Amino acid sequence: MTKVLRLILGDQLNLTHFWFEKTDESVTYLMMEMRQETDYVIHHVQKVVGFFLAMRTFSQTLQKNGHRVRYFSLDHPENLQNLKNQLEELIQKEGFTRFEYQLPDEYRLDQILKEVCESLPIPSSAVDTEHFLTSREFLKDFFKGKKTYLMETFYREMRRKYDILMDGKDPLTGQWNYDHDNRQALKDKKLLKKPLIHPKRVKEILEMIEKAGVKTIGKIDSEQFTWPVSREESLEILEYFCEQLLPNFGAYQDALTTWDPYLFHSRLSFSLNTKMLSPLEVVQTVEKYWFAHQDQISIAQVEGFIRQIIGWREYMRGIYWAKMPEFGDLNFFGHDRKLQNWFWTGNTKMNCLKESIGQSLDLAYAHHIQRLMVTGNFALLAGIHPDEVDQWYLGIYIDAIEWVEITNTRGMSQFADGGIVGTKPYVSSANYIKKQGNYCDHCAYDSTKKTGHGSCPFNSLYWHFYARNREKLEKNPRIGMMYRTWDKMGNQQEVLDQAEFYLRNLDSL
Ligand SMILES: Cc1cc2nc3c(=O)[nH]c(=O)nc-3n(C[C@H](O)[C@H](O)[C@H](O)COP(=O)(O)OP(=O)(O)OC[C@H]3O[C@@H](n4cnc5c(N)ncnc54)[C@H](O)[C@@H]3O)c2cc1C
Ligand code: SF4
């Protein structure tokens, strides 16, 4: 008799996958909460709770729909806490005749599964997750023979391929990209909307995690967990985004403010990365909503959002599969400092970092510009080892899964890839942070000062970064101008001395 075991990983919660179209008595679905996954990095406690809750909800839905599911909670007495051992034992003891899995998104799990399958006594096969718009190899093949990859070229191809915001072969409204319109600081508090949350009690699951001794970071309110854990909740958040947040999404996408942690961001990354929602349904829903409300929402808002998903998100995945595993060791600048202790507490006098880190610890969330231009910017200017930076980002955010974390962190943010993901390092002095919002208004440091007591560390570290990396960066056509400004600066030595002082005292900034 045929007996099939099908594995569902914690980030494969795609109810629309063909596997679940009809029930089949011969198929058992396997889901596991494992120490292997809770311990490969120190995760935010909300991330562990979020994944387990979403997995449990998914398993219940499958069972309700008539599917057979074997679910191992973390405290299940037969849980071996390791994918390889659990699979081998189940297959051997229960007489499965075939093993099937969906292609994992992480290189680590891909290797484990390949290894397991080679040693199994039964046939095995992998199917696509049916989530992404492109195959793992698409981006590599698309840019074959080219020296550099360009996100914008890839993004336009996705727009054409899926006919999104298109008028035949041309972009609808005549322009591909409205990034220039989308860089405003938020001046009016009244525009802000409360996020749509689905509060849940998570006391029992939290106790189970604590009792098992899983090490976590960050805070959680066990009476009110706020992340979506089902497809229904995720769809409601998408709908709320269209109605309430989309009209201002693009305009304030890069804003930095103490007023609100989410601004007009969608909070959809967890739903997308666990595959409760598909990227295509998200962009098509947003596009459709915009078609019906063009009088209220400008194209810049919509294009900005769609680019993040079919552009950046899909592009990062392509880079990951084109460049792993080497990508994980890249360190273009040879940075080697350790991450400061205050990254784990938020206890720093630099207000932009205190706010961004504090919020990350409280909510397991920071929006893109906080990640890129505050925490990431500082880590790059301070010369922190990319391994250290990666570990932090991979642990702290609810949406952090390696394929999208490492490409953003090591690539886009730390430029440790020497320019595969981006064309130049994202660094800035206090000028940018001040321009984008109100962090500097409440800071112990003076954003206008480069040197002297109380001068903002970003200012001197910024020039120190350029000065120490001159050989590596000067020839970059997008950067050359910075060196002309630097060469004209009168007090170079003073600026470098100030930066050196801060670099010697990073722990107490
Ligand atoms: C250093 C650094 C680390 C990051 N780590 C992660 C990560 O681990 N997981 C993750 O999903 N995103 C990561 N991002 C990208 C981005 O910051 C988050 O996707 C976004 O903040 C999630 O919040 P949101 O859903 O409200 O996004 P919105 O601002 O509403 O954007 C909509 C969606 O677009 C997608 N998106 C936007 N920017 C990116 C991007 N650069 N790369 C990939 N997808 C993008 C996300 O799916 C997001 O949900 C990182 C960015 C940086 C700079
Ligand atoms: S003054 Fe400097 S450290 Fe303070 S908030 Fe502004 S940029 Fe950040």
- 415: pLDDT strictly greater than 80: yes
The finding on whether 313 has its CB within 6 A of some atom of ligand 1 is yes
pTM (2 decimals)? 0.96
Ligand nearest to the CA of 351: 2
Instruction: For ligand 2, atom 5, name the residue with the nearest CA.
Output: 440
The finding on whether 98 has its CB within 6 A of some atom of ligand 1 is no
b/e map of 254-276 (b: 16 or more CB within 10 Å)? bbbbeebbbbbbbbbbbbbbbbb
Which pLDDT score is estimated for 195?
A: 95
454: left (phi over 0), alpha (psi -120 to 50) or beta: left
Which pair of tokens denotes residue 47? Answer: 């991330």
Q: Which residue has the tokens 């980002």?
A: 393
Instruction: For ligand 1, atom 50, name the residue with the nearest CA.
Output: 408
Q: What is the CA radius of gyration of the chain?
A: 24
The finding on whether 374 has its CB within 6 A of some atom of ligand 2 is no
Give the mean pLDDT of the chain. Answer: 96
Which pLDDT score is estimated for 140?
A: 85
Which pLDDT score is estimated for 134?
A: 96
CA distances from residue 13 to 59, 72, 405 in whole angstroms, order as listed:
9, 16, 19
The finding on whether 240 has its CB within 6 A of some atom of ligand 2 is no
Ligand nearest to the CA of 456: 2
Percent of the chain with pLDDT strictly greater than 70: 100
Instruction: For ligand 2, atom 6, name the residue with the nearest CA.
Output: 440
- Give the model's confidence band at 77: pLDDT under 50 very low, under 70 low, under 90 confident, else very high: very high
The finding on whether 461 has its CB within 6 A of some atom of ligand 2 is no
- 359: pLDDT strictly greater than 80: yes
The finding on whether 438 has its CB within 6 A of some atom of ligand 2 is no
- 182: pLDDT strictly greater than 80: no
- Give the model's confidence band at 180: pLDDT under 50 very low, under 70 low, under 90 confident, else very high: confident
pLDDT in tens, 197-238: 999 999 999 999 999 999 999 999 999 999 999 999 999 999
- 316: pLDDT strictly greater than 90: yes
Which pair of tokens denotes residue 96? Answer: 């499965």
Contact 231, 274 (CB under 8 A): no
Which has the minimum average pLDDT: 46-60, 144-158, 288-302, 418-432? Answer: 144-158
SS3 for 230?
coil
Q: Which atom of ligand 2 is nearest to the CA of 430?
A: 7
Ligand nearest to the CA of 355: 2
Contact 267, 195 (CB under 8 A): yes
The finding on whether 502 has its CB within 6 A of some atom of ligand 2 is no
Which pLDDT score is estimated for 142?
A: 87
- Give the model's confidence band at 148: pLDDT under 50 very low, under 70 low, under 90 confident, else very high: confident
pLDDT in tens, 438-457: 999 999 999 999 999 999 99
Which pLDDT score is estimated for 78?
A: 94
The finding on whether 439 has its CB within 6 A of some atom of ligand 2 is yes
Instruction: For ligand 1, atom 37, name the residue with the nearest CA.
Output: 308
Which DSSP state fits 225?
B
Write the single-letter amino acid at 132: F
The finding on whether 409 has its CB within 6 A of some atom of ligand 1 is yes
- 146: pLDDT strictly greater than 90: no
- 477: pLDDT strictly greater than 90: no
Task: For residue 269, report the distance from its CA to the centre of ligand 1, in Å.
Answer: 6
The finding on whether 433 has its CB within 6 A of some atom of ligand 2 is yes
pLDDT in tens, 318-357: 999 999 999 999 999 999 999 999 999 999 999 999 999 9
DSSP string, 416-484: TTSSSS-SS-----HHHHHHHBSGGGG-SSBTT-SSSTTB-HHHHHHHHHHHHTHHHHTT-TTTHHHHH
pLDDT in tens, 360-394: 999 999 999 999 999 999 999 999 999 999 999 99
